[in-house]
Structure 1
Amino acid sequence: MKILLCCSAGMSTSLLVSKMEASAKKQGIDCEIWAVGSTEVNNHLQEADVLLLGPQVRFLLAKLKKEGEKRGIPVDSINPMHYGLCNGEEVLKHAINLIKGE
């Protein structure tokens, strides 16, 4: 499972990536999670199973959903509260549910 996160520069999400990885490890879930800036996201979409957008780039949701649909990749925004609290467990759960089509 490959989870791509997008924020404005790719850096503010690094702590969230760490928290998601820790949650996945604790649950025995094998996944790759990485974050990129909004200008690079199209270069990474083909590698991902799901794309989640940070609150600061939520305005790109409609455009990136179209790109995701072309490639069969679900795209959604991260709950701002989960993002702000760096709740890796909830964001990971959301990503997994999107991949499963729930």
Structure 2
Amino acid sequence: MAKKTIMLVCSAGMSTSLLVSKMQKAAVARDYDADIFAIASSEVDNKLAEKNVDVVLLGPQVRFLKDDFAKKTAPKGIALDVINMADYGMMNGEKVLDQAVSLMK
């Protein structure tokens, strides 16, 4: 299976970095080949222009940007969703990885 690219978006790119490391650990444990990274919402346009992304997950604090991002991701066939608030709050890398994987099917 080809490597999947999962982009997490939050207001500054900081709060999701812990979640990224937990998701990476979960991916390694499952032998799932994924490039998982977090960026600030202001960097999304640049990142989408330079990188092939399979799924974009928004942190709950930027869920209001979903409609705006849908206009950018839908034409490219990129899955988009908001991270479940409870999973985000608990920094549950397993569950958020599950969410990302199910969106790509």
Mapped to 2, the partners of 1:82 and 1:65 lie a distance apart of 22
For the residue of structure 1 that corresponds to 2:33, the secondary structure is coil
SS at match of 1:4: strand
Q: Which residue of 1 aligns with 2:41?
A: 38
Tell me if structure 2 keeps the 8 A contact 1:65–1:76.
no
State the TM-score, normalizing by the size of structure 2: 0.92
State the superposition RMSD in angstroms. Answer: 0.8
Structure 2: runs of 5 or more not aligned: none
Distance 2:19 2:74 in 1: 25
Equivalence map 1:77-92=2 (5 Å): 77-92=82-97
Q: Deviations over 1:40-71 (max 9, x none)?
A: 01111242110000011000001101111111
Count of aligned positions: 100
How far off its partner does 1:86 sit? 0.3
Q: Which runs of 5+ in 1 are unaligned?
A: none
User: TM-score, normalized by length of structure 1?
Assistant: 0.95
Q: Percent identity?
A: 52
Moved segments of 4+, more than 4 Å:
none
Query: What's the counterpart of residue 13 of structure 2?
Result: 10
